[in-house]
Chains A and B, each alone.
Chain A
Amino acid sequence: MVGPRKTNRWPVVLWAAALCLLAVSASAQKFYPDDPLVKEPPPLPVQHANFRALSELMEFAANSFSKPGERHPLPHVIPAGDVNTLGEVMDGAWYVNRHARLRLTPEELRRGPGDSQPPAMDVPWMVLVVKKEGLRPGILIADKNQNLYLLRFDPPGAVELATGADMVTSRFFHALGYHVPEDYIVYFERSQLVAADSGEQITSLGKSRDLQEEDINNFLLKAAWDPQRGYRAVASRLPRGWEKLLGPFQVFGERSDDPNDIVPHEHRRDLRGLAVFCAWLNHNNMRAMNTLDVLIEEENVESIRHFLIDFAGSLGSGIREPKPAWQGNEPITGEKIFRNIGGFGLITDPWMRAKYPKIAAVGRFEAETFDPEEWTTNHPLAPFLNRLPDDTFWAAAKVMAFTDDDIRTLVGTGQYSDPAAADWIARCLMERRDRIGRIYFDRVLPLDGFRVEANELKFDDLAVQHGFAAARMYRIQWSQFDNRKGTHQPIGAGPTESLALPEALRQSPAGSYSCARIDGGNPALAVLAYLRREADGWSVVGIEREWPGKSLATSQIQTTAGKAQKRYADLTDRQRALFSGYAAAHSERSGTTHTPEDFFNSLPISEQTTFDAVTHALIHSPLTDAGGQSLGVAIDLVQGIERIAGQYYGRSGDQQFRLYCFMKPAAQETLVKCREFSRDEENTIYHTGYPHSYRQAGKPPSIQISMSADGAKADIDVDYRSSKLPSALFNGHLTSANSDVRAGDNFKAHSGRWAGFVAWWQEVFRKMGKVEGESEAATLPKFLPEAPTPMSPDRPAGAVIDDLPEAVAEFLADWLVRRQYGEVREFLSPRLLACVNIDDDVQNETIRADEAKAKLREVMIAAVERLGRRDNLTEAVDAVMPTNPDRKVVEQPYDGDFTVIELTNAEARQYLCDPGEYDASLPPDGRGVYYGVIFKFKLEGSGVLGLLWTRVDGRWQIVAYRVFAQ
């Protein structure tokens, strides 16, 4: 049960807490026995992954001019999702903890992902492909062992610039923990390359033709050549079975065909923290195009591993030239355009005056003007922009693990012929490393390496350790932690400076948990270290970091984030029948058992609204033939639901907010025959896989049914904006908002065409479109002048009111008219407050029980202020009638102001915020215990509020409330 989110004084964390009720009831503990996990569980097999490319130009446009991917719902933030309870990324398909945890030896650092298979030099290489221009120009060769390598070269006049950067950065990323290809620096003469009989030259039109020797000569004309050593290239070894390359991974969203990819990429710590690593190594060219998904097989299971590739644009290299000075300091689209225009060149930034060595192999790389916080990639990337202080701390700790010697070792892999080049690069990396540590260790309390030794908690202060901060005193508040309930029981009178475990904890039994909240003098910067009593000591099982203003949200993608949930019971029979089939199929595929209701209620809000809106439109769209004979309604064409596509941040509009359906055999024939739909232009760019488009007649909104070639499936959505040119270019038709019923005025448009649809997802005080053309039974009240209902007398505080309508009237009058909040509180059951404040868990909220009460008061006051001065109840509220004719409406004197409905016990139960409080002994069909009161505020655009009343200790009180879904 959730309450309305009215103002930003009602933190989203409450929503998270409330909505986590479902999670809590299913997995009601913070830590599991196997926490912290070091390694991800073995992956599920990937059975049908296919290659998918991305476009450099589209990525540039999307990242630079829109905001793909989910961003933080400020002022709240979404924590990283791929971490264990210590905040560490687990070893898996994305990342493997290496140098920071294991201290690689110099040899291991140099070796990187592998150095045992360089291209064999004793026999000429067969050149398979030569590509001179475009994306990733280079030469593909096979050596005598049939190993494949992609050769990439330096630009003329800058030997070692790009290849050195590529090699060094690749080794750094490997040591940091990422999957990177196996790279080798090779030197060779022209005679080492021989055109293979089956070799291909990629022509200037992107096609291929037979390869000739002179093609290789022409290619090498544009490669740097050293008189002493010949051509120098980085040879990247392609994996065996390289046909299993799946293309780049996107930096937001998830891969839709990978069951193991369950955390949106913009919320992965290894990708958020990558921002810090890229800043360190000046890899401003980082983007989705520089990644690669590869299908690998381990222990007979095929799964996808995610690689970073192509580092030639890092350090001081701009790939084809020394890196332009702006790169790394500004994105391609600039940041200070108007200042630079108006300043006539007189205003400069520090990076413009940076000094670089005149060493061709170094290019433009320095540390003097380096600011890790200001550094940027060429394109803004969603995970980089989402980074939080704990993400950057994680990354900074990894960076600081590299000693000066480690850095020199890794720079040595670039094989720079000029010692000055290697020295400069190494010194710059050292300085940049320190700047990263200095800045990011200051954003949190930089404690790490927690352990318990001799009953004393120990940790490392990384800032102190590295000389960025003076030694400090720590204050610790110890508590016993209830892992099931998520509550803390403080120990002692207050914080102590002692790190010794209190006696109470030392006596606790094995399996119990405790917590140490540590700050270094600044209470806003704190670390919570969770300990578990083991049979033979203590283990640190959880770490959480606090920083000023931290307020967690839960991802909107997967939760309803505080919005009212549509209940399954409110769907029509037709909708429920359709959904049941989908739920059953889901059960079978997932191997789990659930009811359709449970499954529906667990869907993200966007999937619920999509299913509701599309099926609602289909149900209310009759079909007739040319002679006017009925052909049923559009929903009759649908056999079943294959998939519901809700909101997927960053995906194109034609992949969101639609139903993918199995169609009945005669569906396409019916569409052709009916007058209401007509064949539209074939889908050639969008709706991939569904080429035949049928559009509903009339102005938008209209249903579009895109059929597969065989007519067996369809992609069905509602277009709320015109698809006709030129308006489609400007009205958002090509965006995801086109098919999202919640966006803009789409709801209003939907209701205008298909009656009876209610924006149940909106909250009480948010604007809701006027519903027109509804049936009488579902009419929302109009604001007509009416005679005020006589107000009930103002009863004194503590008075017991036997009559429910009188109690309701008293409550509403005290609240909205008299503003007597103290007396209002008497109508609020503790169960209501308990519902609002799920728990006292420090992790996911900053609200405690007493604070929740205060918040509720604030909300009520805010409501009154919004409403303004009202002299009586009739001026404040209006009754709303339920659309469901089965609801038993109680006659009462205030039926112009609010509606009282007698609910069955079973009906009431679904509105309780804590089902655990429900008395299971009550007969489900019994009545007289619970009553619902619904009304609407007399405000333009107001929603409908429902209150659940019952007797608590003889008094009528409210035990739940919600935005009412008709």
Chain B
Amino acid sequence: MALPLETPVWGQAETRAEEIGFLRRDKTAQLWPETQSPLVDKLNKLVDRGLYEGFENTKGTNGWQIVLGGMRSGQGTTAGIGYRRSDLWHDRLGFRSTVRGTIWGAVMLDMGLDFQSLRTERSFIQLYAKYENSPRMDYYGQGQDSEEDDRTSFRLEDYGVDMDAGYELFKRFKIGGTLGYYHVHTGHGHRGGVPSIEEIFTSEDTPGLRQDTGFFRYGLFAQYDYRDSIAGPRSGGFYAVRHRRYEDLDLDQFGFHQLEIQAQQYLPYWNKTRVIALRFATIMSFPEDGQAIPFYLQPTLGGNDSLRGFERYRYYDDHAVMFTAEHRWYVFSGLDMAVFADAGKVVPRKGHINFGHLSVSGGVGFRFRIQNAVVMRVDFAFSEESARVCWTFSDIFKAEGWKW
């Protein structure tokens, strides 16, 4: 018998069965219990708490979780902890809360509730509250002609509570409403080597600067979402429009309404090992009569998610339009690469929204995946103004679709 073992020296087998018997008896004399490392239970519990599902739905695993990213760009590397339960109160309530910050003093606390008991197959209700303090926001002045040298820094500190409710009219098509309160404080900036905003700009040329106020905001949305995955789509599309009104409750100076339109389309080929990802987005803001749009609620371009070759928040104005095209390809199961091009501009009037005089940037990037979800992205982007490395813990086209 071709056993890779020696017959024990003390055994003289007469048959093959006997030889096997000797080997078994020899093993009998050396048995010991199978032991299990305590790490096994811990890691299996992590999986049972929805580790993989948490990547997919971007909410992380149940229980305590380590949180990376998710704050406003430019505040430093974000890390924090969170707690999530997807099945409180007999699955009637989903809950998630996080605390995160950066070494530069940025802080964010948020909490979300998903009223699953009120959910049917077609409807949902969610509550989301957030406090965020970002001491290193950038501002270059208004419009596409703002100067790079006019870079200033300001603090943006805000909190808000919003309730979203929606209904799926037909498969993948939802409509709904949003309702909430939002309060803002702007102040002295703390980015080193850059003047604070009030040293260069005033509240006349920068509406809302140092004019804290609170808003009541409400609106409607409609979306058609048939992406194959929220956290790392490779096929399908997302088309959405949202209209939201802001009423300035304290100062009655900054009331406006805002229309956001977004379209994402993913064109896979070669069995989704290649994907052409396209996005178009525009935000148009319209002040109420005699009022102005506060600069911190204007659409911006530049940063990790738009016009990546330009600095964060490079361009502010009342209206913005943006295009992105990426060609992504499979490297291995945990990594995709992409070449991309961004184009866009901000304009003061809706009539100026067109394809002329767009700022452009391009580059190459890496998308790191766990299963289907993109968990980290590193882009090397170039433009006429700068070359940048974008490092973020999310996909370029945000999962929820709305975040600009």
Contacts and interface: CB of A to CB of B under 8 A. Distances in A.
Nearest to A24: B7
Interface string A260-279: 11111001000000000000
Q: Secondary structure at chain B's binding surface: helix, strand, loop or mixed?
A: mixed
A668 B174 CA distance: 70
B121 A32 contact: no
A259 B27 CA distance: 5
Contact of B5 (A48, A204, A262, A330): A262
A643 B24 CA distance: 17
A32 B194 CA distance: 89
B26 to A, nearest CB: 6
Nearest to A558: B5
Contact of B28 (A22, A87, A259): A259
A777 B274 CA distance: 73
A34 B36 contact: no
A44 B62 CA distance: 45
B9 interface: yes
A593 B10 contact: yes
A952 interface: no
B21 interface: yes
B48 A133 contact: yes
Contact of A686 (B30, B37, B273): B37
Nearest to A644: B30
Contact of A348 (B4, B31, B40, B273): B273
B267 interface: no
Nearest to A254: B27
Contacts of A408: none
B34 interface: yes
A50 interface: yes
Given A27-B11, A50-B34, A218-B91, A205 B3 contact: no
A585 B29 CA distance: 8
A555 B5 CA distance: 7
A131 B45 CA distance: 13
B2 interface: yes
B29 A590 contact: yes
B155 interface: no
A847 B69 CA distance: 65
Contacts of A341: 331, 337
Contact of A334 (B8, B90, B334): B334
B274 A345 contact: yes
A117 interface: no
A135 B41 CA distance: 12
Contacts of B25: 44, 259, 590-592
A263 B339 contact: no
Contacts of B273: 325-326, 348, 352
A130 B213 CA distance: 49
Given A23-B6, A221-B121, A262-B24, A689 B35 contact: yes
Interface size class, chain B: 35 or more
B329 interface: yes
- Which of B7, B34, B90, B331 has the largest number of chain A CB atoms within 10 A? B34
Given A80-B2, A558-B4, A41 B21 contact: yes
B46 A26 contact: no
Interface in B54-92: 62-63, 84-87, 90-91
B48 A134 contact: yes
Given A57-B47, A256-B31, A356-B271, A27 B13 contact: yes
- Which of B53, B86, B327, B332 has the largest number of chain A CB atoms within 10 A? B332
Nearest to A683: B38
A255 B331 CA distance: 38
A964 to B, nearest CB: 23
Contacts of B20: 40-41, 262
Contacts of B3: 81-82, 262-263
B24 A340 contact: no
A33 interface: yes
A247 B339 CA distance: 46
Contact of A332 (B1, B11, B40, B333): B333
Given A215-B90, A330-B333, A256 B2 contact: no
A37 B16 contact: yes
B6 A559 contact: yes
Contacts of B22: 592
B337 A352 contact: no
- Which of B19, B21, B35 has the largest number of chain A CB atoms within 10 A? B35
B23 interface: yes
Interface in A42-86: 43-44, 48-50, 52-58, 78-85
B331 A340 contact: yes
Contacts of A684: 38
A84 B13 CA distance: 16
A261 B27 contact: yes
Contact of B271 (A246, A325, A345, A598): A325
B6 A602 contact: yes
B251 interface: no
Given A55-B39, A133-B53, A20 B6 contact: yes
Interface in B326-342: 327, 329-335, 337, 339
A192 B166 CA distance: 32
A26 B8 contact: yes
Contacts of A19: 6
Contact of B30 (A52, A586, A598): A586
B34 to A, nearest CB: 4
Contacts of A904: none
Given A48-B31, A345-B274, A345-B329, A55 B44 contact: yes
Contacts of B170: none
- Which of B5, B22, B39, B41 has the largest number of chain A CB atoms within 10 A? B5
A334 B121 CA distance: 39
B44 A326 contact: no
Contact of A34 (B17, B23, B28, B90): B17
Interface in A675-733: 684-686, 688-689
A589 interface: yes
Nearest to A593: B10
B34 A345 contact: no
Interface string A205-224: 11000001011001001000
A83 B1 contact: yes
B272 A324 contact: yes
A594 interface: yes
Given A37-B1, A41-B17, A643 B32 contact: yes
A713 B251 CA distance: 78
B50 interface: yes
A736 interface: no
Contacts of A555: 4-5
A598 B10 contact: yes
A19 B5 CA distance: 11
Nearest to A205: B63
A392 interface: no
A32 B29 contact: no
Interface of B: 1-41, 43-51, 53, 62-63, 84-87, 90-91, 116, 121, 270-274, 327, 329-335, 337, 339
19 contacts: A37-B17, A53-B44, A56-B47, A81-B3, A204-B50, A206-B49, A257-B33, A260-B24, A332-B333, A337-B331, A340-B330, A341-B331, A344-B337, A356-B271, A559-B5, A589-B29, A591-B25, A594-B9, A685-B37
- Sort A-B residue pairs by CB-CB distance and give the 5 closest, nearest first: A334-B332, A345-B329, A134-B48, A204-B62, A555-B4
Interface of A: 19-20, 22-23, 25-27, 32-35, 37, 40-41, 43-44, 48-50, 52-58, 78-85, 87, 131-135, 202-206, 212, 214-215, 218, 221, 246-247, 254-264, 267, 324-326, 330, 332-337, 340-341, 344-345, 348, 351-354, 356, 364, 554-555, 557-559, 585-587, 589-594, 598-599, 601-602, 643, 652, 655, 660, 684-686, 688-689
Given A214-B90, A256-B33, A601-B9, 14 more contacts: A50-B33, A52-B36, A53-B40, A55-B37, A55-B40, A56-B47, A87-B2, A134-B44, A254-B27, A261-B27, A263-B4, A333-B334, A352-B330, A598-B10
